[in-house]
Amino acid sequence: MDNPSASSHFIKNIVIDDLQSGKVDQIITRFPPEPNGYLHIGHAKSICLNFELADEFKGRTNLRFDDTNPLKEDNEYVEAIKEDVRWLGFEWDGLFFASDYFEEMYQRAVLLIKKGKAYIDDQSAEEMRLTRGTLTQPGQDSPHRNRSIEENLDLFARMRAGEFKDGDKILRAKIDMSSPNINLRDPALYRISHTTHHNTGDQWCIYPMYAYAHPLEDAIEGVTHSICTLEFEDQRPFYDWVVQECEMEHQPKQYEFARLNITNTVMSKRFLKQLVDEKIVDAWDDPRMPTISGLRRKGFTPEAIRSFVREVGVARSNSTVDERLLEHFIREDLKLKSLRTMAVLRPLKVVITNYPEGQTELLEAENNSENPELGNREIPFSREIYIEQDDFMENPPNKYFRLFPGNEVRLKNAYFIKCNDFVKDEQGNVIEIHCTYDIETKSGSGFSGRKVKGTIHWVEASQALPAEFRLYEPLILDEEKGDSDSFMEHINPNSLEVIQGFVEPNMSSTQAHDKLQFFRHGYFNVDPKLSEPSKPVFNRIVSLKSSFVV
């Protein structure tokens, strides 16, 4: 269930004001990813912001691919992004590509040249860097800054025609080389790149820069509120300049908010790509990745992600959200939805010495004690069962409520058992324990003769279904290093632990992405790629909270 609290934030307040003042009749937002990687949970914040704002105020939201750099982009990414946005629960009104507008962008650039607001520069990238000045010193005008309009027009047409090599010429805005805002020191508008584009093929060999293209895209689509992250703040004057000087009839406005950071989490497409490329993880959808596809494969739900980003809020201060907030929302979402069954991750055999050999009985169990609609199931019980290794100690500490010699515990949905003896191997490890059960204490019988402090889970041994469990820890150990260049030095070597255990026999019918609670362990997801009916594979989404410390 979604977190219902629709809290206010500064962008929503702006929208309300704009609607009330009549500045806009209907809001139009857009989610504008570059198809150069997979979406991560940081993008989810932006997606929810844009789509939910439009939903709330009866506006529209476009999905627009910002595909102005063919060197880095690929159709694989556009398909993955579409899938992720839909999976999160959103449907776009318009589906567009920046490349849809290349001709218009070119014509607007011609207009800029005709107005004397843009010129062709012959300087190399290096020369441009040198003449741009520094943070404290103004830049110097390019020697080509005052070329005639006719010459600029001619050169620009020849750039388009492919007469020049990459880097030989560039179209620049003519603004102010001494502006204290470096973004206004004659920023680049068009560069030459003889690269095949995933949409337009070889139709173009010049491509617009983001800072020039983006405001045009917004203006063409009638976007009213163009929402981006804080690092684009200094670009806003140029954004407005482009809209103004290109004489766009519609004038979108840019608003910036702080991007999402989460503790112990790498949140940058570049770093995530590095993790994939260097095989630190298996793929973009590795459950350890904070990508939408990784979270999906791990077992997170769209509802939990939406609730999470809503609760985080939208503000302008850089912040790092505690990963436990995300965990809170998946626990809350799955609490009533998922079946609660038993799984033994690290098995220890128990022989119930007074239970008849060869006998098996079926016991009734609720699938979710807090949600009767999920019904009941039957589970087998017999003389030999598996319990968790953690649930037995030869020499227990104080306040240990589980099994130890002489102690009695409840077997969830079954009987009380009492430990009488145990067997060790040559290394001194406990490999089997012997108990007796009390038939009077059967679950559901109403027995109240005596109380027991602990209840443990178990699986009947002969019918237990072998299963693989994949337990995850953060990929990054230092909680503040997730977004720094040194993050590779903080990779957690134990981010994945694969163990073999058992689940109840009926688990053979699980389907990919089924979500279950395993008693006392946590919530798990059936892995869509690795799981098989005879050997299910479960990804742990999140453990249960526990106040027990040894």
Partner RNA sequence: UGGGGAUUAGCCAAGCGGUAAGGCAACGGACUUUGACUCCGUCAUUCCUAGGUUCGAUCCCUAGAUCCCCAGCCA
Q: Which of 191, 236, 253, 259 is catalytic?
A: 259
Based on the shown chain and the rule CB under 7 A, indicate whether residue 311 belongs to the binding site for RNA. Answer: yes
Residues 129 and 126: their CA atoms lie apart, in Å, by 5
Does the annotation mark 442 as catalytic? Answer: no
Give the Cα separation of 447 and 399 in Å (integer): 24
Burial class (CB in 10 A: 0-12, 13-18, 19+), 179: middle
Task: From the candidates 34, 217, 303, 460, give the one annotated as an active-site residue.
Answer: 34
CB of 401 to RNA, least distance (A): 4
Q: Does 66 bind RNA (CB under 7 A)?
A: yes
Per-residue tokens: 380: 């087998």
Total residues in contact with RNA, by rule CB under 7 A? 92
CB 46 within 8 A of CB 63: no
With b for 16 or more beta-carbon neighbours within 10 A and e for fewer, the 438-454 pattern comes to: eeebbbeeeeeeeeeee
Give the integer Cα–Cα distance in Å for 31 and 546.
39
Name the segment binding RNA (CB under 7 A); options: 140-148, 425-433, 468-476, 515-523.
515-523
HSE-up of residue 520 (Cα within 13 Å, Cβ side): 17
Q: Which pair of tokens denotes residue 78?
A: 């556009």
CB of 426 vs RNA, minimal distance in Å: 29
User: What is d(CA 207, CA 159) in angstroms, rounded to the nearest whole number?
Assistant: 10
Q: Which of 30, 117, 191, 269 is catalytic?
A: 269
Residue 204 in contact with residue 160, Cβ under 8 Å? yes
Q: Can residue 174 be called a binding residue for RNA (CB under 7 A)? A: no
340/383 with CB nearer RNA = 340
163 is catalytic: no
Phi, psi angle pair for 418, to nearest 5° = -125, 135
Q: Which tokens belong to 268?
A: 């940058």
Nearest approach, Cβ of residue 167 and RNA (Å): 4
Closest to 121 in 3D by CA, of 211, 177, 175, 188? 188
Closest distance of CB 495 from RNA, Å: 21
Name the residue nearer to RNA (CB basis): 187 or 380: 187
Angle between helices 102-114 and 210-221 (to 10 degrees): 110
> Toward RNA, which CB reaches closer, 129 or 424?
129
Residues 123-142 that bind RNA (CB under 7 A): 123-125, 128-129, 132-136
| 187-246 positions binding RNA, by CB under 7 A | 187-188, 191-193, 207, 209-211, 230-235
Q: Which string of x and - marks every residue 8-37 that binds RNA (by CB under 7 A)?
A: xxx--x--------------------x---
Please say which residue, 269 or 383, places its beta carbon nearer to RNA.
269
Which residues make Cβ contacts (< 8 Å) with residue 399, sequence separation at least 6? none
Binding mask 427-466 for RNA (x = CB under 7 A): ---------------xxxx--------xxxx---------
Q: Does the annotation mark 269 as catalytic? A: yes
What whole-number distance in Å separates Cα of residue 461 and Cα of residue 385?
4
Dihedral sign (CA 350, 353, 358, 362): negative
Residues 313-372 that bind RNA (CB under 7 A): 313-322, 324-325, 327-328, 331-332, 335, 340, 368-370
Report if residue 389 touches RNA, rule: CB under 7 A: no
Q: Which residues are annotated as a binding site for L-glutamine?
A: 66, 210
Asked if 143 is part of the footprint of RNA (rule: CB under 7 A), the reply reads no
CB of residue 425 to RNA, shortest distance in Å: 25
User: Which residues does residue 537 pair with via DSSP β-bridges, in sequence order?
Assistant: 468
Among 1, 16, 149, 544, binds RNA (CB under 7 A): 544
The catalytic residues are 34, 259, 269
